[in-house]
Amino acid sequence: MIRNKITPDELIKRIQTKPDEDEFISEVMESTEIIPLLLNIIQTDKGKTKFYCNKVIQIISEKQPQLIYPYFDEVVNLIHDSNSFIKWGAIITLSDLITVDEDDRLAAIYEEYFDLIDSESMITAANVIGNAWKIIKKNPEHENDITQRMLRITKNTYLNKGELSPECTNVLIGHVIDCFDKYYDVSSNKESITDFVTAQTENPRPQVSKKAKVFIGKHVSTPIGR
């Protein structure tokens, strides 16, 4: 059990004993004064402990985002982290924090956050795209802009090991279709989304063409033949 007034060094030692993840997360949710210590470890640790802390913060943000929300700015700082795994975790965590964003902190980071769709990193873009529906449901006024950014995905350039990768684009198209599926019914861009997804029924990546056909069959009155 985490005791009160634990020091950062003591917390690191506790984590290095590899505590049961579910039990540790439950303890942190009960002893919320540990949360800023975990965020500090993520920013300063030179070893692997930061990755465990990052995962804990991410899971808590999904389960009880209101516990992490007071540290919104600290999480924003992590999307600039030089370590990709920390950056990706922060992107997902922010999408959960925005679901309880009653102070509209999203406004200050909106452009910065969604510009990551245009990142050359497929995984960075995928984490934004894959969680954008949460933000749309909380802030439907941004639906048109976010949808338009995702519709432009085929015009973006993504790299794999420094080389232009059309396959990365196809993977991201699959993530876009998954995201559209979660809010299509409330979208103001149904026609544009339908046109985009219909075009992907011939995508060279089999998983993507299958997703597109399933989407059309689910959401459009005249489904594409399978």
Confirm if 6 and 14 have CB atoms less than 8 A apart. yes
Q: What is the mean pLDDT of residues 137-149?
A: 97
Residue 72 has pLDDT above 60, yes or no: yes
When the pLDDT of each residue in the chain is averaged and rounded to a whole number, the result is: 93
3-state per-residue secondary structure call for 31-82:
CHHHHHHHHHHHHHCCCCHHHHHHHHHHHHHHHCHHHHHHHHHHHHHHCCCC
Helices and strands, number each (H, E), in the chain: 13, 2
Residue 226 has pLDDT above 90, yes or no: no
- The pTM score is 0.91
Confirm if 65 and 97 have CB atoms less than 8 A apart. yes
Q: What is the pLDDT of residue 1?
A: 57
Instruction: Give me the domain span that covers residue 27.
Output: 1-103
Number of domains, the chain: 2
Q: What is the mean pLDDT of residues 55-73?
A: 98
Same domain, 119 and 220: yes
Same domain, 118 and 98: no
**181 or 164, which is more confident:** 181
Cα–Cα distance, 150 to 3 (Å, whole number): 46
Last residue of a domain, one of 75, 103, 131: 103
Q: What is the pLDDT of residue 3?
A: 57
Q: What is the mean pLDDT of residues 113-127?
A: 95
- Band the pLDDT of 222: cuts 50, 70, 90: low
**How many other CB atoms are found less than 10 A from the CB of residue 71?**
18
- Candidates 207, 62, 48; CA nearest to 131 is 62
Confirm if 194 and 215 have CB atoms less than 8 A apart. no
Q: What is the mean pLDDT of residues 135-156?
A: 96
Same domain, 166 and 60: no
